[in-house]
Structure 1
């Protein structure tokens, strides 16, 4: 068992927090092989200085969009199981995602008890239904209420989607509402549209200022893209990719390298616009596919962007 180390670290706005995002192995992977997959991941991460891992709870999002999923959907092993495995092997904190819509309040309450007592989960992010279509057994708001009534001191985070701010203009208000419901940090969807993120963070900072509260930490997610198929998947997930950005990647002799340069440029734009807003920031780097070259590129991207944020934070303290 461990208390949330991240809760203490996240409270210091003058330092970044740095994560690697991953998904549990597919459900049909023999449980005996899952430990070796975790070892392989952690061996890849030995060359970088990261604060923790994020384990996603993958859900079937076909109800959200009419287009077919570029990569077939497959259920994965329990996010709690993989989180505990990675924590035990690495001794690093792990943020565990949980999709809440498939269970009713009683089932979700049991999930929370087991997460805390059996799997030593302390840091969680709750995710609602991908769309209003289909059966929703538990809304995100009801899940937050169930968690509040549970009296276990989870370090709770929420998801933020800059693309929603483009279309609805109210994502900053969603963040504030989630804070009232207990969220202490936020993790973004993968960033390919710098301006959408800048608009959201600026609105959020101004909303916090008008209410006399300090902004919560926002962890920005970046992901490499090395092929047209990966780009198709990124867009299928609802991630906003400006036309010029997608053309730069697709027309490049080295699409993967081009995507890293784009991500670094996007991040620098965001930092220039948003560091003066006094929002504590963090980084999460993920690979959206199992392609070895994209996984290796994610490690390089982590190094590039961590160095960028560390430098900008140091400069801001001069």
Structure 2
């Protein structure tokens, strides 16, 4: 079980991440989308399904958003109502700062009652004034710590600029967080730097290392590449140029993700860091969805070959 693997700090965890249908999608169409999603997911050997909360991050930057923002259905309601036949844990993202403590308490009660796990995320823009702080949200969750786990987000790009991601991780660990899901990784050196500094800090403070789950996403087009960069994902210049000249951006990006996965498997094993992967599927194009499924299967086989999955 996902909960047991996190609590025992077992490596080789495999997640799959999706977004709910857009808010304007009619109820019957939502059912149809859910059924297609279930067909794909039932065949996957994954430990849990991540359902993201879609936020408008336009205020975070002055650069124009490559794709217009469209709100989506609530991730918890979508998973609860439409994905219940998928008998694996669901990890639900929630922007804690948008809700009162009373609202979060009621929400957590419902989430935990359904066997789901929460991940609280921060504010969508620096000038957004949170109603509830992350530390307050974690305090609300504390009553479930014996029977549940809570995750958080880690951003290697932020560490490259502020050099404090290791301390951010430790601060959240002190609030009960036991695993961290990264932003999509295309710069493996950034991810390694977080691991290096986290290991040093944890050893120095005699704190057990948390589980780090690296997110990987196939990139299907140059416009998608632009959007990833708009979101703050760093793509090294050499790789960016390679994508721009590639005859098949999607196929090349899958191979890049596989190379990154293999590199991180060996690096985390060497450093003694419990780890896993989250394969994101947030596109609507059929070929990109199929690529994400192929990535889950390939990474799963790679982990099995390393003795990290049965």
Fold shared by both chains (TM-score > 0.5): yes
Match of 2:3 in 1: 7
**SS where residue 78 of structure 2 aligns?**
helix
Q: Deviations over 1:209-254 (max 9, x none)?
A: 2222221111111000010111011111111111111111111011
Alignment map for 1:99-138 (pairs within 5 Å): 99-117=95-113, 120-138=114-132
Once the two structures are overlaid, the 10-residue window that deviates more, 176-185 or 263-272, is: 263-272
Once the two structures are overlaid, the 10-residue window that deviates more, 44-53 or 158-167, is: 44-53
- 1:42 and 2:38 matched: yes
**SS where residue 88 of structure 1 aligns?**
coil
Answer whether contact 1:123 1:155 (CA < 8 A) is retained.
yes
Alignment map for 1:46-195 (pairs within 5 Å): 46-85=42-81, 87-117=83-113, 120-148=114-142, 153-195=147-189
Going from structure 1 to structure 2, the CA distance change for 1:276 and 1:152 (only over 3 Å counts) comes to closer
Number of paired residues?
Answer: 309
Q: Distance in 1 between matches of 2:265 and 2:207?
A: 21
Q: Which residue, 295, 300, 304 being the options, matches 1:310?
A: 304
Match of 1:296 in 2: 290
Answer whether contact 1:83 1:95 (CA < 8 A) is retained.
no
Match of 1:223 in 2: 217
Going from structure 1 to structure 2, the CA distance change for 1:15 and 1:85 (only over 3 Å counts) comes to farther
**SS where residue 240 of structure 2 aligns?**
helix
Going from structure 1 to structure 2, the CA distance change for 1:152 and 1:72 (only over 3 Å counts) comes to farther
Going from structure 1 to structure 2, the CA distance change for 1:259 and 1:151 (only over 3 Å counts) comes to closer
Answer whether contact 1:129 1:139 (CA < 8 A) is retained.
no
Q: Which residue, 3, 8, 16 being the options, matches 2:12?
A: 16
Once the two structures are overlaid, the 10-residue window that deviates more, 243-252 or 210-219, is: 210-219
Shift of 1:139: 2.1
Going from structure 1 to structure 2, the CA distance change for 1:7 and 1:151 (only over 3 Å counts) comes to closer
Answer whether contact 1:109 1:150 (CA < 8 A) is retained.
no
Match of 1:279 in 2: 273
Q: Distance in 2 between matches of 1:150 and 1:16?
A: 25
Answer whether contact 1:20 1:54 (CA < 8 A) is retained.
yes
Shift of 1:153: 4.6
Structure 1 residues without counterparts, runs of 5 or longer: none
Once the two structures are overlaid, the 10-residue window that deviates more, 142-151 or 49-58, is: 142-151
Going from structure 1 to structure 2, the CA distance change for 1:313 and 1:242 (only over 3 Å counts) comes to farther
Q: Which residue, 27, 30, 50 being the options, matches 2:26?
A: 30
Q: Distance in 2 between matches of 1:150 and 1:210?
A: 29
Going from structure 1 to structure 2, the CA distance change for 1:296 and 1:7 (only over 3 Å counts) comes to same
Shift of 1:151: 7.9
Structure 2 residues without counterparts, runs of 5 or longer: none
**SS where residue 90 of structure 1 aligns?**
coil
Shift of 1:79: 1.2
Q: Distance in 1 between matches of 2:157 and 2:304?
A: 27
Answer whether contact 2:66 2:223 (CA < 8 A) is retained.
yes
Shift of 1:131: 2.5
Answer whether contact 2:111 2:118 (CA < 8 A) is retained.
no
Shift of 1:194: 0.2
